[in-house]
Amino acid sequence: MGNKATKLLIRFSDWSNRHLSHQQFLMILSAIIGFTAGLGAVVIKNLTHFIQRLLEGNLIINYHHAFYFIFPLIGLSLTLLVIKVVLKKKIGHGIPSTLYAISRRKGIMRSFQMYASIITAPLTVGFGGSVGLEGPTVATGASLGSNISRFFKMNQSSRTLLIGCAAAGAMSSIFKAPIAAIIFAIEVFSLDLTLISMVPLLIASVSAILTSYFFFGSDIILPVDLQDNFTISEVPFYIILGVLAAGCSMYFTSIYFKIGDAFKKIDSLFYRLLIGGLGLGILIYLIPPLYGEGYNVINNLLAEDYLEALGTNFFNDYLDNIWIVIILLAGLVIFKILATSLTFGAGGVGGIFAPVLFMGSAMGHCFALIVNNLGILKNPISVSSFTMVGMAGLMAGVLHAPLTAIFLIAELTGGYELFVPLMITAAISYMITNQFQPHSVYTMELAKRGDLLTHNKDQAVLTLLNIQQIIEKNFVTLNIDMNLGDVIHEGVIKSSRNLFPVIDENRKFLGIILLDDIRPIMFDQKMYEEVKVSDIMQRAPEIIDLRKDRPKDIMTKFQETNAWNLPVVDDEKYVGFISKSKLLTAYRQKLIEVTV
């Protein structure tokens, strides 16, 4: 059956090459990828809900706290078991791993990524891991898009666009927000906003949302029915909410990376699982709303049903006191990112999109309750509106995606009543956060390594350059112990170059000798024994370190030194030279590739 399907696809590819233009075929593929991404979202969501329904039987009702404590550890153990025994491959975080594939692997994603998250993410989240399903869904769709485009021999720029189509399809299917999904793909994956890219993204987004409607009907993940209209008197409070969202965004990102770095220092996977799983279990035991994705908590907050939203806890008898509710909501804001980070640290597979929405909704709701109960206003502000806008504020700050935040919440609310407050809060949150944390949670580690693609075309092309391919290794090396006679016979006579790298017995790079430097004495045989390499050697104007320097750094070194050739080292050992002409030629070729 598999061979027949492959032969059919090959025949379709041959037919398309003869009868369709590249753009027409790209649109067909975008529809297919949108459908497969939507289908991936359906499968991941249904598997997760199936596991949750199995666990929410009589056991969890009768022994509530005990099973809230143990389920996450069981789920994380099963996830680790699948990764180590079944997949036998490392699964990276969904969106960062996709961004890395675009920047460093020419948009090529390994085939196991098409199904890895479908197996592991439902185990993590279904058993109560405090993460979301959006990242794994996007990674699944992106891998499908990458492998489909590879099968049909698409070039790198088309492959990147189709990965973006898969991301848009995944988000469109999950939230039933097709416009926000397109903007998400453009903002997060740094796609060029042109008519050539917009049409495939639109097709993929529509294809995915139709798939979602077919399987889920009209049900949406965050059903919202806003009752309150926006009034100009609320503007100062939306400004304050934007500042608060920026502070919470920086807290979110800081805690996320600090806990992640702490777990990386633990070599044993078993100890990571034990520490993270037990820590998460204790948190969920004390704060049940941290269990799982948390969309039910958001919906209950929007309905102002605090008994359902805050779950069974030690303060149930005091929920009629609004200040107890406020304190508990503030606790959700503080501890959600701890639960999320522990889930990842223990080896769980998931995303941060849902935790960001969860934390933002609790923050906005808490802020509105504080303002309304301080007794400073004659007319209370809208709690539900601030809950929704709070989500947008945190998305703008943590994900550095203000446009996605604005349009997603606008689409979820079924209109543009909140458009102005969304713009105010999202813009303020993004601007403040960007000043202190110039990269999002998705991109921070990639940016540190120089592997991040951005909308800056020059920076994007430099990031995509493969430096290894432009290193020239046909230079004759000279040993530091040689004399001038050796330089003439072993170097000048055998080389067509006018530049010679000097190394020691361990190939450590020491300096260079230029032909111009020895030309005045190279014919004086009396000096062949007297003059040593160390006498005529000079320092290189700059050295390119393969372990530290990225293409942007290399280009800067050429600009600052005006050198035509610079030596390349790896762990201080000589590798070869990079010439300015070869670097610029590679840059031009890559620019053509990514813009075609």
In the chain, where the domains are located: 2-216, 232-449, 461-595
Amino acid letter, 480: I
Structure tokens at 329: 């909501």
- What's the pLDDT score for residue 1? 43
HSE value, Cβ hemisphere, 13 Å, CA-based, for 528: 10
Q: What whole-number distance in Å separates Cα of residue 587 and Cα of residue 568? A: 18
Amino acid letter, 572: E
Structure tokens at 163: 């990965």
The residue behind tokens 């996605």 is 404
The four Cα atoms 123, 343, 454, 542 give a dihedral, to 10 degrees, of: -120
- What's the pLDDT score for residue 18? 66
- What's the pLDDT score for residue 314? 67
Q: What whole-number distance in Å separates Cα of residue 590 and Cα of residue 277? A: 45
- What's the pLDDT score for residue 527? 81
Same topology for domains 2-216 and 232-449, yes or no?
yes
Superfamily of domain 232-449: Clc chloride channel (1.10.3080.10)
pLDDT by 10s per residue, the chain, length 596 = 456 656 666 676 666 666 677 788 888 889 999 999 999 999 999 999 888 888 776 555 555 556 667 888 899 999 999 988 888 887 777 777 777 777 667 678 888 888 888 999 999 999 988 999 988 998 888 888 888 888 877 777 788 888 889 889 999 998 888 999 999 988 887 776 666 778 889 999 999 999 988 887 777 787 777 777 788 889 999 999 999 999 999 999 999 999 999 998 998 888 999 999 999 988 988 888 888 888 889 998 988 888 888 866 666 666 778 888 899 999 999 999 999 999 999 989 998 999 999 999 999 999 999 999 988 888 889 898 999 999 999 999 999 999 999 999 988 877 678 889 999 999 999 999 999 988 888 777 666 655 555 555 556 666 667 788 888 888 888 988 888 888 888 888 888 888 899 998 889 999 898 888 788 887 777 788 888 888 888 888 899 998 888 888 888 888 888 888 899 999 889 999 988 888 888 877 777 665 54
Architecture, CATH, for domain 2-216 = Orthogonal Bundle (1.10)
H or E stretch at 26:
helix 22-55
- What's the pLDDT score for residue 331? 92
Q: What whole-number distance in Å separates Cα of residue 270 and Cα of residue 345? A: 11
| pTM of the model as a whole | 0.78
Report the interhelical angle of 353-373 vs 235-264 (nearest 10°).
Answer: 140
Q: Which residues of 218-236 are buried (b: 16+ CB within 10 A; e: fewer)?
A: eebbbebebeeebeeebee
Amino acid letter, 551: P
- What's the pLDDT score for residue 57? 62
- What dotted CATH number matches 461-595? 3.10.580.10
